[in-house]
Amino acid sequence: MEMSTFPASSSASHYDFAANFFLDVPTLTKPHQRWRLAFKAIYSTRALLSLLINKKNQFLTHLSHSPSYTALDINDHDYTDSIVPFSKLNLDTLVAIVKEKNLGILDQFGGIHGVASTLKVDYKNGINGSTEDVTRRSNVFGSNTYRKPPAKGFFRFVVEGFKDTTILILLVCVVLSLGFGIKEDGIKDGWYDGGSIFLAVFLVIFVSAISNFKQSRQFEKLSEKSNDIRVDVIRDGRRQQISIFEIVVGDIVVLKIGDQIPADGLFLDGHSLKVDESSMTGESDHVDINGDQNPFMISGAKVADGYGRMLVTSVGINTTWGEMMNSISRETEEQTPLQARLNKLTSYIGKVGLAVAFVVLVVMLVRYFTGNTQDEKGNREFNGRRTKFDDVMNAVVGIVSAAVTIVVVAIPEGLPLAVTLTLAYSMKKMMADHALVRKLSACETMGSVTTICTDKTGTLTLNQMKVTEFWVGEEALVTDGAFKVIEPSVLQLLQEGVCLNTTGDVCRSNSGTVPEFSGSPTEKAILSWAVLDLGTDVDEVKQSCTVLHVEAFNSEKKRSGVLIRKKGEKAICVHWKGAAEILLALCSSYFDRTETAKPMTEGERMKHEQIIKGMAAKSLRCIAFAYKPISEVEESRNATQKLEEDELILLGLVGLKDPCRPGVSKAVEACREAGVNIKMITGDNVFTARAIAIECGILRADEDLNNGTVVEGVEFRNYSPEEREEKVDTIRVMARSSPFDKLLMVQCLKEKGHVVAVTGDGTNDAPALKEADIGLSMGIQGTEVAKESSDIVILDDNFNSVVTVLKWGRCVYNNIQKFIQFQLTVNAAALVINFVAAVSSGKVPLTAVQLLWVNLIMDTLGALALATEQPTKELLEKPPVGRTEPLITKVMWRNLIAQALYQVTVLLILQFKGMAIFGVEEKIKDTIIFNTFVLCQVFNEFNARKLEKKNIFEGIHKNQLFLGIVGMTLILQVVMVELLKKFANTERLNWGQWCASIGIAALSWPIGWVVKSMPVSDKPFFSLFKH
């Protein structure tokens, strides 16, 4: 905009907005252009009128004395970008940079710095990070989520229930029964038989569908939780952890070994960064990431080595990972080994039931067509050609439906349902106890674990590191204020070694003076010591030096190195930090606090070794700092190749204290009582490892520690396979171990028949986590690679939670055994009663509707009641189940056979002598049989709560769901008998008959008590049900 100059006045401020408004910006579409032009004209007119009114006299004077004038040149330009941020940015082009790995498009933006500038990102401090900024970016570029295929709805579960073959046969019987019944008795009375069967079938399916639907939703929630990864980002100059779903375009993400790349982005800075893109591209080779040839980082890839920072350029469905996840169907239902075994058991029992039902069908049809059956009035039902076709069909449909219903009751569909219920329930409870189950099979397998191989740091200890000892040369210095007594040159080298050779960071907030430390607990402890005790200014040290090359820390080398050059100087040097005894072996001299470099003679080396052992005996982790100046000739070679690690100069030693977790010794003792061996595998030296193991109760202070209980990784590695197999059971602590040593131990233990659980947190732990029967990764310190390789994530990194998982695993197995015992008792009793009755009298005492009601009680309600039993202390007083234990134990067979024999005996007596005993007609006798049978199952449900203990009521008040289901079953049974006469084909019972039914059923309690007093031998019962 061009203007002539007015006399200086306050009205000049009126032009400020206009001056900004008419800036040159890209052209809008034609409709927008017309609106823009109209606005500009109106605004200019108002500005002139304002001047005329406010400065009328001055303005007139100027007009009369001078020919000067004001001219507004209104340019047809856009001002959108100041009102709508990022409007100039083409989103598709931005997305294409990383998706297509296109350096050409990146150059058009002006390189990575150009993209950062376009996205309004500060290269060092990241985005503003305010709620408004994050929301605006999310609205413009999308959120870091993807559209999931819709979950299976409730109706789908109902439809699936109707697809069952036996249910379909029953529905055909329903249709035929309805047709013939209505034709014979009219609509008013003829629908009862068919309608009641349909209602019973529908009730069974409906209740099962509700249960399955609820469990499906439960698994969905747990799946969402496991996908919620925590990511380190820099916002407003502060490093902070946020959910992967909260990442927005423009975020600067801090990545280290084992991290998953959360979105598509560009490499900003870092060292030795290599990523594994195999999950996206299928290529197993690691890809080098750098700022020149390949700055492209794709979501879903894992960091294999090094560390760095990344600028996010696209999120959610705009990323390669998001596109792939968007197209993946969720119809992948995992079947656990126990579910597979139970399906085989179900199939086997189903075949037995089918055979019984077929025999019943044939016998009843033969008896009917030979005239050996009578109706309610005592007349023969079949009289050859004189019998109406409708009557014959009604009788045949009734016989077929009774036989089919026997199959329905015989097939224990409730077994897989019970597993699903107990797994879902235990997963929910374990989540509350800080354990996230990633694989369903882990719940049940955990109950069989015989050995747990655990890490030390963060699992047995609190992972709250603090530097408590500091040695320079052979002199221990007070950590607080140590900088006052060390020579400035030695202090400077120590500060460089700490600040430049770290993956941690220090941030000072604007408001306070207390700095915030980020990174691993070890890095935070060392940085905290350097800043607060050595008086280090981290930013100043970083700005005074240039990092030329980095060798990142990994658990095999147990050290990290950095090659640096001071700004303005030619000399370069290498700094190393790592395990004290490993670095000590590489040193040829050492500094004392007076800046004197002394040769590392054998005597001096032994003294330093004694210092390290002394710190280790106090359970301290020992870290050494060393450095080496490098000549200019070696500079170019060192910048690209391995850093020099010989002839180093020792700068100092620090001891870090990591206290044991409260209650860890009790947890270790609980495992020992449960017959589970605990083996501690750590990267610390043998003395630190031994001290921690004694503190945690893995080793006893008074026992001989030279008998092979404590070994080093290299020693274990060098054993022959035979030696390893011989000694592996004795080993309780393995120090200075590599991930390969951990893998070797797991393989060796499995070969010896152990069921092994392993804890791990690093990327290199992935092979051992996968190899183990149960992989337990750490939720706080664990890398994403470790978590993906594991079966269960311990959310609080606490060994107590590992013991809780063990308890829940045993509880799952125990609950399923309880339900198997309960269900097989019902199956056996129902099959025998109906078979004997059908063969002897031609009629089944339990009708289709009654059997379907029993099926509902035992399959769904019984599963729900027994699957939700809480774990008890007794579970950890037994030895582990192991691989070869049968699913149905001899204790279960003893209980099952006793209860089934009692039920069959009582009910057959009622079948043949009930009318005489009670002096009632047949229909009331059949109702008494039905009522007694159902009540027997209710009372037997209490017996099933405890497989071995005689006190079946112990802890029952804690399981309110069990009591609720038993109460509901009793109420519904009263309704079935007393009110639903036509529906359930029952007759009302008097008080005496009810008391008799309850008394007979209640006898199962004392019988159970007596039976549990009978000992069982150790010899296997049925090899059929073995693993």
pLDDT exceeds cutoff 70 at 981: yes
Cβ–Cβ < 8 Å for 364, 406 = no
Tokens of 67: 């020919």
Report residue 976: phi and psi, to 5°. Answer: -60, -45
Q: Which residues, other chains included, contact 199 with Cβ-Cβ below 8 Å and sequence gap of 6+?
A: 983
- Residue 11 — pLDDT band, cuts 50, 70, 90? very low
pLDDT exceeds cutoff 70 at 762: yes
- Residue 34 — pLDDT band, cuts 50, 70, 90? low
Residues 186-201 pLDDT 10s = 677 667 667 777 776 7
The per-residue DSSP string of 95-163 comes to HHHHHTT-HHHHHHTTHHHHHHHHTT-BTTTBB---HHHHHHHHHHH--S--PPPPPPPHHHHHHHHHT
Please give the pLDDT value at position 361: 84
Q: Cα dist. 935→677, 728, 854, 995, 1008 in Å?
A: 44, 53, 10, 11, 15
Residues 58-115 pLDDT 10s = 444 444 444 444 444 444 444 444 445 676 678 888 888 888 888 888 888 889 989 9
User: Which secondary structure element, helix H or strand E, spans residue 794, and what is its range?
Assistant: strand 792-794
Residues 868-914 pLDDT 10s = 888 888 888 888 876 667 778 888 899 999 999 999 999 989 988 88
Query: Is residue 455 annotated as a catalytic residue, yes or no?
Result: yes
Mean predicted lDDT score pLDDT of the chain: 80
Report residue 320: phi and psi, to 5°. Answer: -65, -45
Residues 583-622 pLDDT 10s = 999 999 999 877 788 999 999 999 999 999 999 888 898 9
**pTM score of the predicted model:** 0.71
Mean per-residue pLDDT, 574-588: 93
Nearest Cα residue to 226 out of 792, 896, 846, 996: 792
Cβ–Cβ < 8 Å for 746, 449 = no
Helix (H, G, I), strand (E, B) or coil at 664: helix
Please give the pLDDT value at position 497: 94
pLDDT exceeds cutoff 80 at 634: no
Cross-strand bridge partners of residue 855: none
Output 711 or 149, whichever has higher pLDDT.
711
Report d(CA 157, CA 206) in Å as an integer: 9
Q: Which of 259, 433, 455, 684 is catalytic?
A: 455
Helix (H, G, I), strand (E, B) or coil at 210: helix
Residues 427-438 pLDDT 10s = 888 888 888 888
Which own/partner pairs from 911-917 qualify as long-range (CB within 8 Å, at least 24 positions apart)? 911/833, 911/836, 911/837, 911/841, 911/845, 912/840
Please give the pLDDT value at position 248: 94
Residues 489-499 pLDDT 10s = 889 999 999 99
User: Which secondary structure element, helix H or strand E, spans residue 50, and what is its range?
Assistant: helix 30-54
Residues 292-346 pLDDT 10s = 888 999 988 888 888 899 999 999 888 877 777 665 544 445 566 676 777 777 7
Report d(CA 104, CA 88) in Å as an integer: 19
Please give the pLDDT value at position 949: 85
Q: What sign has the CA pseudo-torsion 455, 460, 466, 467?
A: negative
pLDDT exceeds cutoff 50 at 804: yes
**Angle value at C-alpha 163, between 162 and 169, nearest 5 degrees:** 80
Please give the pLDDT value at position 15: 38
Report d(CA 499, CA 703) in Å as an integer: 43
